[in-house]
Amino acid sequence: MSNAYREYYLFDAMRNLGEMTEYAHDACGVEPDRALAFFMISGYSERFENGDPRVLSGMSGTELYQASCIKCGMAKENWPKALVRYTTEDYYWIGYILAYYQWTVNRTFGDILNVVSAADLIRMYPALHTVSDDKAVETISDLYNSRATANRLQVYRKRIGMTQAELAQTAGINLRTLQQYETGAKSLQKAAADSVLSLAGVLYCAPKGLI
C-alpha distances (whole Å) from 36 to each of 39, 68, 125 are 5, 9, 17
Indicate the residue among 96, 130, 164 that finishes a domain: 130
Report pLDDT for 11. 95
Residue 131's pLDDT band (cuts 50, 70, 90): very high
Same domain, 117 and 79: yes
Indicate the residue among 103, 130, 157 that finishes a domain: 130
pLDDT tens digits, residue range 80-119? 999 988 888 999 999 999 999 999 999 999 989 988 999 9
Same domain, 123 and 23: yes
Indicate the residue among 66, 100, 130 that finishes a domain: 130
CA–CA separation, 200 and 101 (whole Å): 31
pLDDT tens digits, residue range 145-190? 887 777 778 878 887 888 999 999 999 999 999 998 888 788 888 8
Q: Give the contacts of 2 (CB within 8 A, at least 6 positions apart).
A: 106
Give the domain extent around 41: 7-130
Angle in degrees, CA 61, 64, 68, rounded to 5: 145
Residue 1 lies in a domain: no
Report, in angstroms and rounded to the nearest whole number, the Rg of the chain calculated over CA atoms: 20
Same domain, 55 and 116: yes
CATH code of the domain containing 197: 1.10.260.40
Q: CB–CB of 196/152 below 8 Å?
A: no
Average pLDDT of the chain to the nearest whole number: 91
Q: CB–CB of 4/106 below 8 Å?
A: yes
Residue 1's pLDDT band (cuts 50, 70, 90): low
pLDDT tens digits, residue range 52-89? 999 999 999 999 999 999 999 988 889 999 998 888 89
Report pLDDT for 35. 96
Same domain, 120 and 193: no
**In total, how many domains does the chain have?**
2
Residue 135 lies in a domain: no
